[in-house]
C-alpha cells in the first residue's frame, strides 16, 4: 500500500505538470466504489474548466487546489497510482485499471489508475475540515508534535506501540513498513505498551519517524535509494531465513498487522 512517501511523491509530480493549467477534459468511469460520494458524471462536471492553483497533502490523502470549489481529493488505497503523458506518449489503448483521466490545456494527460479499486476519489470545499482528512492525526512533514507532547499522547495509551503507529488519527501517513522501520531503528519492540516508553524512548521514536519519512521523500520513494542498513531491504518474502545485520528477523502479528522485527536488537 502506498504510504506517505509514495503519496507525497505523486503529489509533487502531479502539481508540477498541472499547476497554473486548465483542466479542459475529464473522463471518469462510472464506478460507485471509487467515486463513492460523488457520482463520476458530477465529478466530471465539477472538474472540467477549472484551473489548478496548487496541491496539498495530509497523511495518505492529497488534493488539488482549484480556482473554484469543490476540490478533488485522492486516496490511493492499495494499488492506486498516477501516470503522466503527452499527446505523443499517450497509449493508444487505455487499460482497464484507468479510473480517471485529466486532459490539461497544454496537452498533458494525467491518469489515475487503480487495478483493485481500493482507491477513492472525493470532493470537498475545505479538505482539512471535512471528511476523513479532518480526522487525521500528526503528519511527519507538516505538524509533528514535540517529544514532550508526543510522550504525553503515548503515555495515556496502553496499546502496543506498533498498533498506535498505524493509527491514522495519531500518526497520519505512517504505514506498515514505515512503522516497522521506525521501531527497528529506535530499538523498540512492537509489543511494547505505548505507556511504558520513557522520554528517551519517545525522543528516539520521534527522531526515527522524521528521519525515515524525510529520507524516503527526498529520494522520491525509490526504495533502491533507501540506506542499505534499513530493515526495509530484508523484510520482504524471506520468512524463516530473513536476516539483517547478522540477526534473525521474526514475523509476528501485532494490532492485526504482520510485523517484522529483530528481537535481539529491539526491546
2 as an active site residue: the answer is yes
Which member of 3, 8, 103, 181 is catalytic? 3
Measure the CA–CA gap between 245 and 248, rounded to whole angstroms: 9
Collapsed DSSP state (helix, strand, coil) of residue 6: helix
Which member of 5, 8, 15, 60 is catalytic? 60
Which member of 2, 5, 160, 190 is catalytic? 2
95 as an active site residue: the answer is no
C-alpha cell at 108: 498533458
88 as an active site residue: the answer is no
| 260 Cβ contact partners less than 8 Å away, ≥ 6 residues apart | 180, 184, 231, 235, 242, 249, 250, 251
Strand partners, 61: 58, 75
| Helix (H), strand (E) at residue 101 | strand 98-104
Contacts 24+ apart (CB under 8 A), 244-252: 244/184, 252/190
Cβ–Cβ < 8 Å for 153, 197? no
Q: Which residues are catalytic?
A: 2-3, 60
Amino acid at each position: 500500500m502506498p504510504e506517505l512517501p509514495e503519496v507525497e511523491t505523486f503529489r509533487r509530480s502531479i502539481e508540477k505538470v498541472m499547476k497554473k493549467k486548465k483542466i479542459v477534459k475529464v473522463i471518469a468511469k462510472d464506478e460507485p466504489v471509487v467515486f463513492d460520494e460523488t457520482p463520476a458524471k458530477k465529478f466530471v462536471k465539477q472538474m472540467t474548466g477549472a484551473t489548478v492553483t496548487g496541491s496539498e497533502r495530509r497523511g495518505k490523502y492529497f488534493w488539488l487546489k482549484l480556482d473554484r470549489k469543490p476540490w478533488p481529493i485522492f486516496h490511493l488505497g492499495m494499488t492506486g497510482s498516477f501516470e503522466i503523458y503527452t499527446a505523443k506518449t499517450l497509449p493508444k489503448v487505455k487499460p482497464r485499471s484507468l479510473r480517471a483521466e485529466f486532459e490539461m490545456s497544454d496537452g498533458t494527460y494525467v491518469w489515475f489508475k487503480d487495478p483493485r479499486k481500493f482507491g477513492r476519489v472525493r470532493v470537498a470545499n475545505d479538505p482539512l475540515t471535512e471528511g476523513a482528512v479532518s480526522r487525521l492525526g500528526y503528519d511527519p512533514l507538516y505538524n509533528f508534535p514535540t517529544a514532550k507532547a508526543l510522550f504525553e499522547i503515548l503515555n495515556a495509551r496502553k496499546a502496543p506501540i506498533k498498533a498506535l503507529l498505524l493509527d491514522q488519527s495519531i500518526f497520519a501517513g505512517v504505514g506498515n513498513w514505515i512503522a516497522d522501520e521506525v521501531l527497528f531503528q529506535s530499538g523498540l519492540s512492537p509489543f511494547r505498551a505505548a505507556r511504558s516508553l520513557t522520554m528517551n524512548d519517545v525522543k528516539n521514536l520521534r527522531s526515527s519517524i522524521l528521519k525515515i519519512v524525510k529520507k524516503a521523500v527526498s529520494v522520491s520513494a525509490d526504495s533502491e535509494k533507501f540506506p542499505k542498513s534499513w530493515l526495509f531491504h530484508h523484510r520482504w518474502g524471506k520468512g524463516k531465513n530473513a536476516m539483517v545485520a547478522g540477526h534473525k528477523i521474526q514475523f509476528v502479528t501485532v494490532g492485526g498487522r504482520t510485523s517484522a522485527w529483530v528481537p535481539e536488537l529491539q526491546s
